[in-house]
Structure 1
Amino acid sequence: MKAGADMEVAGKAVCLFMLLTIIKLRRTEGIYRVSARLGHSAVMTCPNKTNITMVTWKISPKIGGQCTLANLIDENKSERTNCSDRINWKSRPDWDQALEIQQVRMADEGNYTCEVVNADGNFHGLYHLTVLVFPRMALYCDDHGNPVCEAETVKPAAEISWVPESNSTPRADSNDNGTVTVLSRFAAHSTNGRNPTCIVSHATLNETKPIDCSPSHRYLILHIAIVLVFLIIITFVAVIYYLKLHGYRFCHKTKPPDIVPTYSSQDDTAEVEPYTTYVQKENVIYNSVSDLTLMQNLPQGQSPAT
């Protein structure tokens, strides 16, 4: 009986030793819950260990297949399987094993496991990523003066209703980031003097807003601006008419003074002298030609009379 008890104690010791060995070789650092805003970046780190020989990220998103990033540090070799370009190492995996997700989407929600290997064994860090979406509600008047209500939320789409009841049907559009935008345009035959009120219902958003798109409010500023411009124009015209009525001239044309040319006797002499010299030269030439002609016409032996 004592031998049986000893065997039972020995068996329990062996089981405990094997359990401790498994825990040493394969340790899980715990589950961390992280959150990231839609469209922003998320960073997750691995267990801080030294002399790491291999690091692997295993990603199991809520939508889509599993993605794997691995790096063999000793061989300086990286591998990736079925991972989006938005999911990558934050820097160099040989000295920083953190994972970065850029422009987080709704489909990125899920579990992220980092496994590092060194001489002491395998160590795991498990993260659960939750994407935070801040719902958006917009209420405005379109170009025709009709109230429009918009609500952007995560799936399922938000529900929009009006008070008084609207005859239009809301339109839902899916966005690339995983959200849904619902648009509803108010259309009713009568509001009974009440401003339309938009009611948005969703798990992440419940809001109610009234709006007034009546012309008296929409065009009040425009009417005031038109009146001010008209008054400025009337005032300007009145000032111009008043100034002209009293003989005021904006522009005075001045006649340049008459310039009387001045002449001197020296200028007259300078102008006459070339002509006098020219006439004298012409007379000398004429007299010489006349004398020559006369000598040719006289009989031989007779000289012209002087």
Structure 2
Amino acid sequence: MPRTWRTSKLWLLLILTVFLVPGYVRAGVRSSGTPRNLTQLQMATTNRSSVEGKQSRLTPPVEANTSQSVPVATKAVLTCPPVGLTNVLIIRWEINLRDKPSCIRAYRRDNNETSERNCTDERISWESRPDQNPALQIDPVAITHDGYYRCEVAAPDGNFGLGYHLQVLVPPEVTLFRGSNGTLVCRAAGKPAARISWTPGGDCHTAEQQLGNGTVTVLSTCHWEDRQVSNVSCSVSHVTGNKTLSLELNRGYVRAGVRSSGTPRNLTQLQMATTNRSSVEGKQSRLTPPVEANTSQSVPVATKAVLTCPPVGLTNVLIIRWEINLRDKPSCIRAYRRENNETSERNCTDERISWESRPDQNPALRIDPVAITHDGYYRCEVAAADGNFGLGYHLQVLVPPEVTLFRGSNGTLVCRAAGKPAARISWTPGGDCHTAEQQLGNGTVTVLSTCHWEDRQVSNVSCSVSHVTGNKTLSLELNPGVITLEFPASRLLIILYVKFSLFLVILVIVGFIYFQRINDCRA
């Protein structure tokens, strides 16, 4: 009988392990407070393209593209490829600004002459004499100088190209003032968008307004209901530097050094202060220039994008040429020649970028699927019997944020959102929160918002993430300590009820077998 009793206990332990433990594991899969580590998060938000190192049989021009950020109202100098000037035949700068025709500046060494076309911005010029230094100078840099700049050098030993994706940075103009219903409002207008945090934290909501010139006005509205707060600070974080404004609630004025008035300028005045308007550049040279335009386009990742050429009748087309400039990649050239109905390409190894159909029927370019590495400048040039036409696209790839909510140290909660562009995080109810961001090499941004609710009776909090691709909200119950993400309590109770019922059935069967063996032994 002792052996039978030990065998029954082993059977009972095995049943408990098989039926109860998996139930709790399933119920806790989505309730763990430990997220994936940052490396895994970066891998999830990073779309890596394969190495494109194939070369055509003919030696291609040495070309490269890079990104450069320059503060507004400073001087920027863009250099050409490092080619000895004694070997130079022609130097050519092509400047593609948003919503402007392409500007061409060229230098010919054999007759020591310079020429230009569609170049009316006097702030963009040669750094010095092009026969001594062919660098391009922008002085002072304005917000309208965002765009793609490319230097091409023709020499006896080959052609060389170097492109710049230039981003102009605008330090935020910050104001702090009283809103309605006892709220305080902190406003920051700059480029790129600034980050706003409060000390102490309150019930806060953040919104932003995209201005036509690329600057972003961020508005953070906060209130401290039923809390004894006498002084608050609004901290603004930006790539150009940080600023902090303070306000005494019982006095009602802003303590911010130069800015001491509690009444800000209205939004129209603020937009005018952060907008650098360039003069209308409508002058034309005596020769009829090509009809050219540049535009901006945003496309979600993993979708299909189609970029069209200028609307020119295909019967009049002689040559169609697509130039694709991606960051840190050599320029890709796809061309179609109508007279012999032939296509050609150079440095084009990405199979996701191709003609939409036959170029003699539709010369549009297709990207399918769009990857995060497809950020860049795309330009279609059409040579026709009645002139040349160009249309450029500054393509921005959007990545929906991947959001996680978990417990941090010292009783804090952390909400993490990784996407492109950077997402906005807000909490309900508001607490003592701090936000930081990490720029990844592929253009995505990981935003971390850490919050705690000291000396406050809070049982449930929500992390709301705002993004141009859509919004998400995660909730967490502070007392049970589990995250309620797509796993309602009713479903959890049903699973536990079913498991418990199965356990009772198995327990009855084991008991019946046990007592049956007892009776057999006595007999």
> What TM bracket, shorter-length normalisation?
0.3 to 0.5
Q: Which has the higher contact order (CA 8 A, sep 6+)?
A: 2
Greater C-alpha Rg: 1
- Larger strand proportion, structure 1 or 2? 2
With normalisation by structure 1, the TM-score equals: 0.46
The answer to which structure has the higher helix fraction is 1
**What TM-score do the two structures reach when normalised by structure 2?**
0.29
